[in-house]
Amino acid sequence: MLEDHKRTGAYYQAIMSNRRQFKDKVVLDVGAGSGILSIFAAKAGAKKVYAVEATSVAADARKLIAHNKLDNVIEVVQGTIESIELPEKAKTYALLSPRMQVDIIVSEWMGYFLLRESMLDSVLVARDKFLKPGGAMYPSHANIYMAPIRTHMATQKLNELHVSTPCFNCSVKSRGRAGAQGNF
């Protein structure tokens, strides 16, 4: 993520433009990686940030966070969101939930075509497990736009399928021709 300046900049802008929402809040960074979103949240005024990272990159995140002198605000927790418990109990919500609850969840869960990195499931687990009622998620929603296209290469592949598919006592001829004409 650090090498993707546009994406990192968009997260920075979203968090810093909403400093009032982060001020004195408890934040959970799911799949923290280098900890950059945790750093943004701390700089926006969060009183506590839990940076949860499953891999050994958690050690690098600790170093980066300490280098930025934010280790008094950000705590790196190594493990999967599905398996960890946050270190503290929320006093305000102790009667409602046996778990620590957070005000905000941040996560860079989107990959190519939104779902490529397969982090959405973990973010939803984090939401259900740790987010206070009325809490916020960054990002909170996403849209996928798709449009069908027809290319010469797709038509050629469908024609090759028609020719090379063994029939196994059935006909693929009409399906192949319809597909080759773009009628799906």
**Where does residue 145 fall: left (phi above 0), alpha (psi -120 to 50 degrees), or beta otherwise?**
beta
Alpha-carbon span 98 to 126, nearest angstrom: 15
Q: Would you call 108 a catalytic residue per the annotation?
A: yes
Q: Among the options 82, 85, 88, 117, which is catalytic?
A: 117
**Phi/psi at 132 (nearest 5 deg)?**
-65, 155
Q: Would you call 88 a catalytic residue per the annotation?
A: no
Alpha-carbon span 37 to 11, nearest angstrom: 7
Instruction: Name, in order, each residue with C-beta under 8 angstroms of 64's C-beta and a sequence gap of 6 or more.
Output: 34, 35, 36, 39
Q: Which of 103, 106, 101 is nearest to 85 (CA)?
A: 101
User: Looking at the annotation, which residues are catalytic?
Assistant: 108, 117
